[in-house]
Chains A and B, each alone.
Chain A
Amino acid sequence: MRERPFWASVLFMLGLASAPAVTSAGPDYPPVREGGQIVFPTDTGAHPDYRTEWWYVTGWVSDEQGVERGFQVTFFRVRTGIGDDNPSRFAPRQLILAHAAVADPAEGRLLHAERSERALHPLAGAATGRTRAWTADWSIEWDGARYHSDVEAESFAFDLHFDPAGRRPVLNGENGFSRKAPDPKHASYYYSRPQLAVSGTLRLRGNTHQVKGRAWLDHEWSSETMPPGARGWDWMGINLHDGGSLMAFRMRDDQGGAMWSAGTLQSGSGAPAALRPEQVSFVPGRRWRSPRTGAEYPVEWEIRVDDRRLRLQPLMDDQELDSRRSTGAVYWEGAVRLLEGGREIGRGYLEMTGYAERLQM
């Protein structure tokens, strides 16, 4: 087995990757239960008792010249179960990990960067009560009307506002209780904020652009890791041009079959509807092989939602994140278009994990 820095493993246990349940000696993480009520705005803040939590923003922006690019920023919070009884300010009870990437077709591949820290006031943390997570000079924050995210990396940076324009969050699953596997204990609390109006600046290799666009925010927290037998998952979140939104995911087993799938569809300004496993299916299409990792990803998909046949097409093929040198994680996370009958009906992000080596702890 290849040796990896430990925080790589941390990323892996976020539920982003398959992870066997951590040893029994862990702390008491509160379980995610059906019927739990998500309360806004309190629940936009952190839930430090739960094992993992993330705020995940993806979107498409275009600059003054009309050049279109994708971007992604994620803040993870992890409760480690270590140092609960240590009065040190450094006690690593909570870790904050952040990850950001820009998909620019002119680059041909992703620009990405990451930060990891233990929560330590005032350098890094995740606040309760309303969304605010930060580490060094990266942050995401809800000011009551808009989200604001600031990311500074070497090859890129962005300073963006995301405005829901008064639109209510979309609760996924059963009122925010989102199952991930046949066993209902594998579940998370999960809501999405689609159709966020983006405005701000994007710096790419020294050139700063004024950008506008549409983004999507997911906020999810859970105490469970990946269900046993799961190898990875495919997820997409699409802002539909009719003003609606479509979220769908499936958990894959070793044979590439779906262990579980689900989604949420909101058409136009209608009410969101939860999609049951049998209503959603993912059919892989054209494959692309990564020259770096040799992993092969289905970069085009047919998504079936009830009897609709939707097609996913990437902004560019190479949106693989190869952080083997740092976090060790290898996955595909990129900007995609959603087509129906040859016509683009929405744009958003697709995430595919578990296509490279078997994810191990």
Chain B
Amino acid sequence: MSAALRHVFLASLRRRRLATALSLFAIALGVALGLAVQLIHGAALDEFGRGMRLLAGEADLQVFGPRAGFDDAVYAEIAAQAEVADASPVLEIDARLPGRDISLRIFGIDMFRAAHVHPALMPQVDTAARETGPLAALAADALFLSPAARTALGIAPGEMLAVQSGTHALPLRIAGTVPAAGLGQELGVMDIAAAQLLFGRIGRISRIDLRLKSGIDRDAARRSLAALLPAGVEVLTPETAEAQTSALSQAYRVNLTMLAIIALLTGGFLVFSTQLLAVARRRQELAFLRALGLDRAALIRGLLAEGAVVGLTGGLLGIVLAYGLAGLAFNYVGGDLGAGYFRGLRPALRFDLRPSVAYVLLGVLAGVAGAWLPAREAARMNPARALRAGDEAEVFQSRPRAYLTPACLALATLLCFLPPLGGVPIFGYAAVAFLLAGAVLALPTLVQLSMGFLDGTRDVLWMLARARLAAAPGQAVVAAAGVVASVALAVAMAIMVSSFRHSVDGWLESILPADLYLSASPAATSGFLAPEMQEQVASLPGIAAIRPVRFDTLRLDTERFPVTLIARPVDGGAALPLVGATVTADSPDAAPSAWISEAMADLFAVKVGDVLQLPISGRRVAFHVAGIWRDYARQHGAVVIELADYRALTGDFNANDLAIWLADGAEPDTVAQAIRNALGDDTIKIASPGDIRAISLAIFDRTFLVTYLMEAVAILIGLFGVSTSFAGLATARRKEFGMLRHLGLTRGEIGRLLTVEGALTAAVGTAVGMVAGGAIALVLVEVINRQSFHWSMDIRLPLAGLVIFAGALVLLAALAARLSGHQAMRQSAVLAVREDW
């Protein structure tokens, strides 16, 4: 068998180099994309998990509060509990660095406590800093940087680093390093008291890490400690805390992996169409082998081996590509492919055996699966009949199975109503698969039906083409199936992206009504505008009104990631991009209103009219859900409350951002300069809504770049399917063409016949693909996006684009069909007929 395998089967791959190369490339692409996504996110998540574990250190339990922190008296109480062996308080600050684009995570720790709980955070006083005294680490201006942070900031011990607190830039002295922080963690450490004073957080901490005494049951301790904590402060196990955060990027990872799987499927499909072609071409050769004694099983094994070799080679090539891609991504985009999930991490690319092997196996699987049907088809042939010429067309026989289509469509519809599994829209993806299958299965019947509509033309070539497709739709199916699948996926993606972009654009417009936006820092960082700064801005000439915005996070339960709290003037909801019904509180003494984002409504199962308990300032406050708004920025959920309510509850009058309305005739640039002069240039950012919109859409387009790439590949593969199947058909139809030549058709006319057949096939395939694509787009928008990211969007068809796309595709398919049939047309008509002795 092995000699036969080498000479008969594998050698055949070498004879059709282009086809083999293309199949191989598609599989390599699928493997590369899938594995690269896996590697990049794997490394980022690993580094992220390492960071979480590093910070958790040897903690058995961790107490977390909102981002603004919680009362540090809780620490004194918790640390004194009998079951607690060690308690380490942490104040985590995402410090904005004036004049730099990055922020730095600074951990204010009690070094005496941290030594026992997270030794990795322990600072080491640098020799150069020693002269300032042995207590250097406790000094109010001493900051210690991890090796990664030192590299990223390009700063050496003894030098100064300015950090932003409010709108002030305050200098800190780099007093040494955090040697155990690991190479991937960009962070700084300072004394907790110094951090509280520096960042205006006196009396606040963000976390307490606990080590329990030996023999204490962790769950029991968790329950008893939880009872001591104020509202919105939760005690979690480090595993839960890590899982909450990694779950955040899960949907994004799953969806990227789905793209890779689609690429692999197309690779498998390419293997299928080239193998089918090869089997048709080699029908007599294979029949001869059978007649010589090669048994059926050996034939199947041989043909499957061809697919496996393509899959293996493609898989191995894909692995190489994947590591290259991942390396590039780390250098240029970061571990989250630009999606912004992991900041302050420097993940390193490592060889990861298990996913690499798994993806090679997937590549082999795609190759074998693609080779399976043609192999079975070849094994089924009757050697005696197949030895005669003209039997090739048998290969393309297919039985119409249109009756399965309604079942597929019904199943797909049903699947759309199922909830996600573990936050992953598995059933949505299954629905997409069934829609595709339904479309492909309906194809033979639809080809036949549509040929009926073309009746009435007098052109001989048209009549011939129509008659052929109507009589033998199976031949068209192989070519058209590829078109259907690629068109459906491309169209679905195009509709989804266009709807998404349009909705994001509209959303940006509605959330950015003011003339200028002033930000002391992004939500997470240490900048803020104190009340006097806000007044100072409001009183500048040319400014008609300002509206402050304040951000915090709220922990609603121990299960989920905290939601974002946004406090701003809301005008009873009028200033929000609301979706669906709203209610207004009728009596003035009713609970204050809250407007929740779609993600929050989904994740926490809250609806308009419900009462929502929000833990603000350590107390549970009842809010009345007045509406649901669309939020494309925070997929973990967000809730908006009136700024006045927030200020009354918390006494916090600071703001993160200001929306600024200009007086009539005021020049935005002049006003922006006046603000910069008043507050300082480094510590604030001023942007016009136009800038913000342009930047947001640029980020959007970058995120979907990989999607556009996939669309192009899908189209290429569809065209390639047309080309290979027509090449196969042309071989199979040599006798037919010879006959037509005898009947008087010129070579050119046969070429035109093939062109028409190709165009008709592609037209039907494209039409079916468009309809299927529309349906899939609906599933993408309403099910997959909704379940993955919890946001809705308005469907928008890019009509002109789709029409141009369809026309171009039909033209290209016609061209491909004609080029592929070229070889058949060159053959002598006499020879072709003579083949049939």
Contacts and interface: CB of A to CB of B under 8 A. Distances in A.
A355 interface: no
A83 B140 contact: yes
A95 B112 CA distance: 10
Interface stretch (A2-10, A28-36, A60-68, A259-267): A2-10
Contacts of A90: 72, 89, 110, 191-193, 196
Contacts of B246: none
Contacts of B291: none
Nearest to A361: B134
Contacts of B123: 6
Interface in B128-167: 130, 132-140
A87 interface: yes
Contacts of B122: 5
Main secondary structure on chain A at its contact with chain B?
Answer: loop
B203 interface: yes
B80 interface: yes
Interface string B201-232: 01100000000000000000000000000000
A138 interface: no
Contacts of B192: 88, 90
Taking each of B127, B132, B134, which has the highest tally of chain A beta carbons within 10 Å of its own beta carbon?
A: B134
Contacts of B136: 6
A1 B127 contact: yes
Nearest to A4: B125
A121 interface: yes
Contact of A89 (B76, B133, B134, B137): B76
Contacts of B115: 5
Interface residues of A, number: 32
B79 interface: yes
Contacts of A3: 124-125, 127
Contact of B134 (A13, A87, A116, A117): A13
A23 B124 contact: no
A269 interface: no
B243 interface: no
B127 A82 contact: no
A204 interface: no
Contacts of A95: 112
Contacts, number: 87
A10 B135 CA distance: 7
A93 to B, nearest CB: 9
Interface string A111-139: 00000111011110000000000000000
Contact of B76 (A87, A88, A122): A122
A22 B191 CA distance: 20
A206 to B, nearest CB: 13
Taking each of A88, A90, A117, which has the highest tally of chain B beta carbons within 10 Å of its own beta carbon?
A: A90
A95 B134 CA distance: 13
A38 interface: no
A191 B563 CA distance: 60
Given A91-B193, A122-B80, A123-B76, A80 B112 contact: no
B831 interface: no
A92 interface: yes
Contact of B137 (A6, A117, A361): A6
A129 B191 CA distance: 30
B80 A361 contact: no
A13 B134 CA distance: 8
Contacts of B133: 22-23, 361
B111 interface: yes
A83 to B, nearest CB: 5
Contacts of B139: 82
Interface string A70-95: 00000000001111001111111001
A275 B136 CA distance: 39
A19 B133 CA distance: 10
A154 to B, nearest CB: 10
B112 A88 contact: no
Given A5-B115, A80-B135, A361-B134, A118 B140 contact: no
Which 9 A-B residue pairings sit nearest by Cβ, starting from the closest?
A: A9-B134, A90-B193, A88-B193, A6-B137, A88-B196, A91-B193, A92-B138, A90-B192, A86-B197
Given A3-B127, A86-B197, 18 more contacts: A5-B115, A5-B122, A6-B125, A10-B134, A12-B134, A81-B135, A82-B139, A83-B194, A87-B202, A88-B196, A89-B72, A90-B191, A90-B193, A90-B196, A91-B193, A92-B135, A117-B112, A118-B112
Interface of B: 72-73, 76, 79-80, 89, 110-113, 115, 122-125, 127, 130, 132-140, 191-194, 196-197, 202-203
Interface of A: 1, 3, 5-7, 9-10, 12-13, 19, 22-23, 80-83, 86-92, 95, 116-118, 120-123, 361
28 contacts: A3-B124, A3-B125, A6-B111, A6-B134, A6-B138, A7-B111, A10-B135, A12-B134, A19-B134, A80-B138, A86-B140, A86-B194, A88-B192, A88-B193, A88-B197, A88-B202, A88-B203, A89-B73, A89-B76, A90-B110, A90-B191, A90-B193, A90-B196, A92-B135, A118-B112, A120-B76, A123-B79, A361-B133
